Amino acid sequence: MSKNAVINLDGKDIELPIIEGTEGEKAIDIRKLRAESGYITIDSGFGNTGSCESTITFIDGAKGILRYRGFTIEELTEKCSFEKVIYLLMYDKLPTDDELSSFNEDLKKYSTIDNDLFKSLFSSMPKDAHPMSILSAALSVLSTHESENLNPLDPAQVDIAAKKLMAKIPLIAAASYKYSKGEEFNVSDSGLNYTANFLHLMFSNGSDKYDLKPAVETVMNKLFVLHADHEQNCSTSAVRFVGSSQANLFASVVAGVNALSGPSHGGANQKVLEQLQSICDDGGDASKFIAKAKDKADPFRLMGFGHRVYKNFDPRAKLIKQSCDEVLNVLGLNDPLLNVAKELSQTALNDKYFSDRKLYPNVDFYSGIIYKAIGFPVEMFTVLFAIGRLPGWITQWKEMHAVDNRIGRPRQIYSGENERSL
């Protein structure tokens, strides 16, 4: 039976429908509020505002649950390739073997970028350009060569654009690294799966092929899967918002890349490692940095800590922490940053400031230590997040178009000067 909420404004009862999700989450549907009452709602940071109904990802922040299309991330990371998860997200079904291999063939077919285009694109950028800026610029340039695949209202064009984005993002990411080192770009190896091919693009040197360790491939696959979607976060909301203006998929994804680059969002993984390094360089005393984080007069924040939604633990961080120990063991590395990270998190977890505010290590806290162990420079970390998140952006964009593509256009309360004369 449908229920209503009743809000009394200026002596008038306004009835607003209650919406309940399949996991029992409840919302007050305020779509008629302004028309019926003249009032709007204000919710800076949108902490209480649902922007859509979605069938893609479920998060329970109190219990530390994250599921894509109903499957837990624990099971998906254990049993699925990244490609299978991309398919699951994008097409809302687990692929059959034939569907998966045909999908993989498409990704491989599109896993090229014209070398001259690539070289001229990079030649306009300094060697130390940040890979996220390169990614943003490169995707915009690529879109200029995709005019036949840019109609957001044509599902066939959208499907090709989506596959091309997925196929080409590893090439751009790896090329940004190669460019910074002054090395030739590698070409894709069609014998390799998505993750292995990306590692080859990054770390092979001409005919000197990257020595791919199964444990490294497994952990990278797991990290990509763990980042694949996270419902209405900042970058995903940016993608949906830009897409709601009927901007094409490339343009919308570029908005996501730029939103992700900020240190409060995906850019945090780079900042975490830089912070751990500075704690290490400073003698390794975690408590000094905890004190700085607690000092309200100091803008310093403990990077990789805290989350808008997770208020108990971040299930992704839990899985990544396990992998971190495993991969360092396999690679025979003993990174002092891991010890600093563990001490920092232990000290914070026992501190009232952090427990009162429910601040726990998030997805970015341990991932950088793994990336570093594999050989990625810190500047690349956020791009790795972007590769992982791309299927989520694409899927959310498609859902927005299929379900409710009304242009995003929030209201405001004007609090400036009343009309006056010069």
Between 167 and 359, name the residue whose CB sits nearer to ligand CMC.
359
> Counting beta carbons within 10 angstroms of the beta carbon of residue 331, is it exposed (0 to 12), middle (13 to 18) or buried (19 or more)?
middle
Between 80 and 268, name the residue whose CB sits nearer to ligand CMC.
268
**Smallest distance, ligand CMC to C-beta of residue 140, A:** 22
- Which amino acid is it at 299? P
Which residue in the block uniquely carries the two structure tokens 């969002």?
Answer: 265
Which residue from 101, 66, 69, 98 is spatially nearest to 83, judged by alpha carbons? 101
Q: How is residue 415 written in tokens?
A: 């609090």
Taking the C-alpha atoms of residue 175 and residue 169, their distance in angstroms, rounded to an integer, is 10
| From 307, 314, 325, 351, active-site residue | 307
**Smallest distance, ligand CMC to C-beta of residue 173, A:** 17
| From 200, 265, 364, 401, active-site residue | 364
**Smallest distance, ligand CMC to C-beta of residue 44, A:** 10
Q: Taking the CB of residue 129, how many other CB atoms lie within 10 A of it?
A: 16
Q: How far apart are the first and last CA of the chain?
A: 58
Taking the C-alpha atoms of residue 54 and residue 402, their distance in angstroms, rounded to an integer, is 11
Between 197 and 395, name the residue whose CB sits nearer to ligand CMC.
395
Q: How is residue 103 written in tokens?
A: 């999908």
**Smallest distance, ligand CMC to C-beta of residue 310, A:** 8
* In contact, 243 and 400? CB cutoff 8 Å: yes
Q: Is 364 annotated in the active site?
A: yes
Between 45 and 283, name the residue whose CB sits nearer to ligand CMC.
45
Between 178 and 316, name the residue whose CB sits nearer to ligand CMC.
316
Quick one: DSSP state of residue 38? Answer: S
Minimal CB distance to ligand CMC: which residue? 306
Between 297 and 407, name the residue whose CB sits nearer to ligand CMC.
297
**Smallest distance, ligand CMC to C-beta of residue 290, A:** 9
Which residue from 256, 246, 259 is spatially nearest to 150, judged by alpha carbons? 246
Taking the C-alpha atoms of residue 6 and residue 65, their distance in angstroms, rounded to an integer, is 32
Question: What are the Cα distances from residue 100, in Å, to 73, 87, 121, 199, 324?
Answer: 19, 8, 33, 21, 29
| Binding interface with ligand CMC (CB under 6 A) | 45, 233, 264-266, 268, 293, 301-308, 357, 359, 362-364
Point out the residues that are catalytic.
Answer: 307, 364
